[in-house]
Amino acid sequence: MAALYRKELADHLNSNRYQLLFCLLLLITTASLIGAVSNLRDAVSDSSEFIFLKLFTTSGTSIYSFATFIAFLGPLVGITLGFDAVNNERSLGTLSRLASQPIYRDSIINAKFLAGASAILLLVFTLGLYLCGAGLLLIGIPPSGEEVLRILIFLLLSAVYMSVWLALAIIFSVLTRHAATAALVSLSIWLFLSLFMSLVASGIANALLPVNGIEGVANMIPNYELNLALNCVSPYYLFSEAASTILNPNVRSIGVVTMSSYVGAIAGSLPLSQSLLLIWPHLVVMVALAMAGFAVAYISFMRQEIRA
């Protein structure tokens, strides 16, 4: 598997597709950094703490922040690296030749997923370090130790988020014979979960627990909780909520917050350990989704006849 892993990783890194993705994301990162620096003074006026983290969360006048771009465009990276992982080799006839070699069949699918995840990890940390280095030169304020840890956790979270979509794309690469079909199905799921899942969740919650009229006052909290539970199906929602929590220490809670929860609370930012407790379920769910997706692709691949 080590030889296959090195081969797959080299194919990713040397491909025009990966280099084009890297250049595109590098351009977007530069634009988001310029926008964040231009509006950093307004962001600092609200809170002068954790200035370096604001480079990742501050939006420009006409451009989104780096965290927002990763949340929306990150799935494209995973889908692009995985939609033709298996069916392309099957159509070229190289998969049957590869399987005829004295290697374990599961080494093929394992190496493809691990190489894709490694390429994603390299891409994410390269962009993150570039943003940190360029931001340090532009603002001249070094990050604190806690800010460095929060940035590293955010980058790791971004890599896991993209790996979820990589696993999804590999599933359809195994199940379908054409790479175009796998790409279209993966992109359709991405658009639905990213753009329309919140509308569907809101519609279902309002249909089951209406909030109109006097009778609906009692349904407001259950309606909101159901809406949140349905949105948690989407990796986009999980990542967006976890990223905003880890990059903004002033976020003190996730979910429904009542006035009684604020009684006796001391105003201030949360330490890193408490922010990790808030996002721990999100990270566990995304890792579980990536593992479940890979398990489905693994089982489907192992049950297929690929030597014919």
What average pLDDT does the segment 2-31 reach? 92
The total of structural domains in the chain comes to 1
Burial class (CB in 10 A: 0-12, 13-18, 19+), 48: exposed
Could you give the percent of the chain with pLDDT greater than 70?
90
- Per-residue confidence band for 233, with pLDDT thresholds at 50, 70 and 90: confident
Would you give the end-to-end CA distance of the chain in angstroms? 22
What is the per-residue pLDDT across 92-119, written as a single tens digit (0 to 9) for each? 777 777 777 778 888 888 999 999 999 9
Nearest to 231 by CA among 198, 203, 199, 258: 198
Give the CA angle between residues 152, 113, 122 to the nearest 5°: 30
| CA dihedral sign, ordered 170, 175, 181, 187 | negative
- Domain membership of residue 232 (yes or no) is yes
Residues 174 and 187: their CA atoms lie apart, in Å, by 16
- Domain membership of residue 138 (yes or no) is yes
- Domain membership of residue 264 (yes or no) is no
- Domain membership of residue 29 (yes or no) is yes
Residue 167 belongs to domain spanning: 2-254+269-303
In single-letter form, the type of residue at position 167 comes to A
- Predicted TM-score (pTM) of the model is 0.89
- Domain membership of residue 261 (yes or no) is no
- Domain membership of residue 263 (yes or no) is no
What average pLDDT does the segment 263-268 reach? 56
R_g (Cα) of the chain, nearest Å: 22
Residues 5 and 248: their CA atoms lie apart, in Å, by 37
Instruction: Please say whether the beta carbons of 150 and 247 come within 8 A.
Output: yes
- Find the helix or strand (DSSP H, E) in which 67 lies: helix 66-82
- Domain membership of residue 287 (yes or no) is yes
Stretch among 124-128, 247-251, 285-289, 295-299 having the lowest mean pLDDT: 247-251
- Long-range contacts formed by 189-193: CB under 8 A, 24+ apart: 190/75, 190/76, 190/79, 190/165, 193/233, 193/234, 193/235, 193/236
Residues 83 and 58: their CA atoms lie apart, in Å, by 33
- Domain membership of residue 260 (yes or no) is no
